[in-house]
Amino acid sequence: MGFVLAAKLALGAALAATLFASGPEARFPEPELVSVPPGTITFRPAGEYLRAGIPVAPAPAMVRFERRLSIMKFPVSAAEYRVCVDAGACPRAAGTAAAPDHPAVDVSWRDAVAYAKFLSARTGRRYRLPSDAEWAYAAGSRFRDGALADLTETDRAARSIERYEKESLEERAEKATRPIGSFGANERGLVDVAGNVWEWTSTCFRRFTLDAAGAATGAPVENCGVRVLAGRHRAYVADFVRDARSGGCATGIPPANLGFRLVRERG
């Protein structure tokens, strides 16, 4: 802890020196943000829902956003992530393999949190990962609800085969990253949402047990060692995993790339 504090002080001193040298206008550049107006979303929340031990889709739930949501227009780029790495605040192994104008990928949840902390310190604003609900709200028409809702089989074995077959038909996102902007903007102005980079959220994996009527029996079991990844579909991946294609608790189609974008809180 003492070491981190010392490092922060050193960074602060370095930043102060920069300001002194180049004038008060030289502030750390803030990322471009999109302001999503207040409103509601009706969607199936993240998590695993077991009814008689069989995973089922949860009932749609409504989430209301009372205030506008400020979220990064673009995913964090490899160049931006590199600044954090060079400052010694983000792990070197992550996020810099792609070209500078590509999204930062091979980033774990922990790496993303480290970047959010760094950006907050540099800008004096509070940046953090979006929750799964916030991401879904901002993603708008590009948000795809869970595929479990489409399954018709009720028998466990038949259901797992049905799910397997449906997933087999889905087109796999290609691994190679593209320059930011390549996947276009959604109706909210967010760029590259649900492209070939899945984005970390702050939401922990939760397992709900449902009764025969579909109501939750008791509070869910939460595992914050596994976090929700948002993209073309949801994935649940261990927080230390950078490449989900061959690991990390993921079932179903693994995400092609792991990256992130941040929310900026008010004040």
Partner 1 sequence: MRIPNLATTIGAALAALVAAATPASADASKLTRHKVEFAVPPFVHAHEQVTSQPPRIIEFKMVIVEKEIVIDDDGTKFHAMTFHGSIPGPLMVVHEGDYVELTLVNPATNTMPHNIDFHAATGGLGGGELTMVNPGEQVVLRWKATRTGVFVYHCAPGSSMIPWHVVSGMNGAVMVLPRDGLKDEVGKPLRYDRIYYVGENDFYVPRDATGKFKSYPSVGESFSDMMDVMRKLIPSHVVFNGRVGSLTGDKAMTAKVGETVLIIHSQANRDTRPHLIGGHGDYVWETGKFANPPQKDLETWFIRGGSAGAALYTFRQPGLYAYVNHNLIEAVELGATAHFKVTGTWDDDLMTQVKPPLPIPDAKPEGAAPAPAKPVPIKQ
Q: Three-class SS of residue 237? A: strand
Q: Which of 5, 62, 157, 212 binds partner 1 (CB under 8 A)?
A: 157
Q: Toward partner 1, which CB reaches closer, 83 or 97?
A: 97
E strand or H helix that includes residue 34 = strand 33-36
If we measure between CA atoms, which residue out of 66, 258, 34, 67 comes closest to residue 138? 34
Longest dimension (CA), the chain: 70
Helix (H, G, I), strand (E, B) or coil at 14: helix
| CB of 27 or CB of 172, closer to partner 1 | 172
Element (H, E) at 86: helix 78-86
From 21, 124, 187, 246, residue interacting with partner 1 (rule: CB under 8 A) = 246
C-beta closer to partner 1: residue 33 or 173: 173
Write each residue from 184 to 223 as x if it is in contact with partner 1 (CB under 8 A), else as -, in one continuous string.
-----------------------x-x--------xx-x--
Q: Check residue 175 for interaction with partner 1 (CB under 8 A).
A: yes
Closer of 177 and 186 to partner 1 (Cβ): 177
Structure tokens at 65: 């956003």
Rounded CA-CA distance 6/22 in Å is: 24
Q: What is the rounded distance in angstroms from the CA atom of residue 183 to the CA atom of residue 139?
A: 13
Closer of 170 and 265 to partner 1 (Cβ): 170
Please tell me whether residue 52 binds partner 1 under the rule CB under 8 A.
Answer: yes
Rounded Cα distance between 108 and 110, Å, is 5
Going from the C-alpha of 90 to that of each of 7, 81, 209, 231, the distances in angstroms are: 12, 8, 38, 23
Ranges assigned E (strand) in 142-247: 198-210, 221-230, 235-238
Q: How far is the CB of 239 from partner 1 (least distance, A)?
A: 18
Is residue 4 involved in binding partner 1 (CB under 8 A)?
no
What is the closest distance, in whole angstroms, from the C-beta atom of residue 64 to partner 1 in the complex?
26
> Among residues 160, 183, 189, 223, which is the contact residue for partner 1, using CB under 8 A?
160
Candidates 5, 21, 62, 169; binder of partner 1 (CB under 8 A) is 169
- Residue 226: both structure tokens together: 């596994």
Q: Binding residues for partner 1, how many (CB under 8 A)?
A: 25
What is the binding site for partner 1 (CB under 8 A)? 50, 52-53, 155-158, 160-161, 164-165, 167-169, 172, 174-175, 207, 209, 218-219, 221, 245-247
